[in-house]
Amino acid sequence: MQIGFIGLGSMGSAMAINLVKAGHDVRAWNRSKVAQDSVPGVTLVEFAADAFQADAVFTMLSDDAVIREVVLDAGLLASAPGLTHIVTSTISVAFARELELLHEEAGLGYVSAPVLGRPNVAARGQLNILAAGKANAVAAIEPLLAPLSKKVWKLGENPARANAAKLACNMMIAMAIEAMAEGVVLTESVGLERADFFELILGTLFSGRAYESYSAQITERSFEPGFKAKLALKDMRLATEASNEIGRTLPMLEAVREGLDQAVLAGFGEKDWSIMADMTVRGGDSMASSETNSETNQ
């Protein structure tokens, strides 16, 4: 099967490599120049339109606006009738609906397939993929998702379901990060080491994956992405839009969105989103500030 791939960022490059390893012919485009040896076996093409000359094309671009610019505004949907487009980015529910309609009008298959898992998980081909779209479109591309994933969660024929589920997952991880940080504020104030507090909560009430993974980052104060705070803020905004669309305001969502907004405003947009926990623990500042300052002073 001839596969196109658009967007060789942290996630996309790992996914494209795994498609090659699975024996597929992958033609990929990225806005910035990508070194061939960073994506072995992937054929790099000059234009996004070249990646659309395929049986199926993945897009793993940052957000709605970039997909609109690279795919819709460039008229790519008209260039490849019969192709199935798999959008693995985290995008808005409203944009997923628009994409579904536009692909149907252009005679293309469309599958929303946002993913759970960070770049290291993508590199191991162990993502959880949330897939939704017309049954025949999902069936056609399912073999392509296998080398990328631990499990494909099929969420039905309405693509927006996958996007709403993905936004809900990220919203809940952000809430878990903030919850742990606020727990640390209370417990460190009486001298309890954060590692000991996390051992307690992981061994009793909160043994889930999000708590496990982000408690380690909060303990180590390690903020290399991972998942960039600026992209996490984008997702909280998309979750807010989705809740506003149904006339609801979600107070915990508002709080974590504000926390990420502060982190990005403080200049930490390129750091991991768990930087938000550090800012809460330190009352609005972050360890990363002193790191940045000492780097600048050298």
Catalytic residues: 166
Q: Is 269 in the site for ligand NAP (CB under 6 A)?
A: no
Question: What are the E-state strand segments in the chain?
Answer: 2-6, 25-29, 43-44, 56-59, 84-87, 109-112, 115-116, 127-133, 149-154
Among 1, 10, 216, 282, binds ligand NAP (CB under 6 A): 10
Q: Which two tokens stand for residue 189?
A: 């104030």
User: Is 173 or 279 the residue whose CB approaches ligand NAP more closely?
Assistant: 173
The residue range among 27-35, 105-113, 136-144, 278-286 that interacts with ligand NAP, by the rule CB under 6 A, is 27-35
Q: Is 53 a binder of ligand NAP (CB under 6 A)?
A: no
Closest residue to bound ligand NAP by CB? 9
Distances from the Cα of 114 to the Cα of 26, 46, 58, angstroms: 20, 26, 11
Estimate the crossing angle of helix 209-220 against helix 159-188, to 10 degrees. 50
Instruction: Choose between 31 and 221: whose C-beta lies nearer to ligand NAP.
Output: 31
DSSP bridge pairs for 131: 154
Give 68 or 97: the residue with its C-beta nearer to ligand NAP: 68
| Cα 194 to Cα 215: distance, rounded to the nearest angstrom | 9
Q: Counting contacts by CB under 6 A, is residue 125 touching ligand NAP?
A: no
**Helix, strand, coil percent values for the chain (each to nearest 5):** 55, 15, 30
Residues within window 64-103 making contact with ligand NAP, judged by CB under 6 A: 66, 69-70, 89-90
Nearest residue (CB) to ligand NAP, 10 versus 292? 10
What are the φ/ψ torsions at residue 116 (nearest 5 degrees)? -110, 130
Binding marks (x or -) toward ligand NAP, 213..242, rule CB under 6 A?
A: -------------xx---x---x-------
Distances 264 to 85, 175, 227, 270 between C-alpha atoms, Å: 32, 17, 13, 8
For residue 167, report the phi and psi dihedrals to the nearest 5 degrees. -65, -40
Asked if 8 is part of the footprint of ligand NAP (rule: CB under 6 A), the reply reads: yes
Residue 70 CB, nearest approach to ligand NAP (Å): 5
Q: Which is nearer to ligand NAP, 32 or 294 (CB)?
A: 32
Q: Is 8 helix (H, G, I), strand (E, B) or coil?
A: coil
Among 4, 9, 159, 183, binds ligand NAP (CB under 6 A): 9
Helix (H, G, I), strand (E, B) or coil at 210: helix
- DSSP-derived 3-state class of residue 11: helix
| CA distances, 227 to each of 238, 250, 274 (Å) | 16, 23, 9
Binding part of the chain for ligand NAP, among 25-33, 177-185, 211-219, 286-294 by CB under 6 A, reads 25-33
Is 133 a residue that touches ligand NAP (CB under 6 A)? no
Give the shortest CB-9-to-ligand NAP separation in angstroms.
Answer: 2
Binding site for ligand NAP (CB under 6 A): 7-12, 30-32, 60-63, 66, 69-70, 89-90, 115, 118-119, 226-227, 231, 235
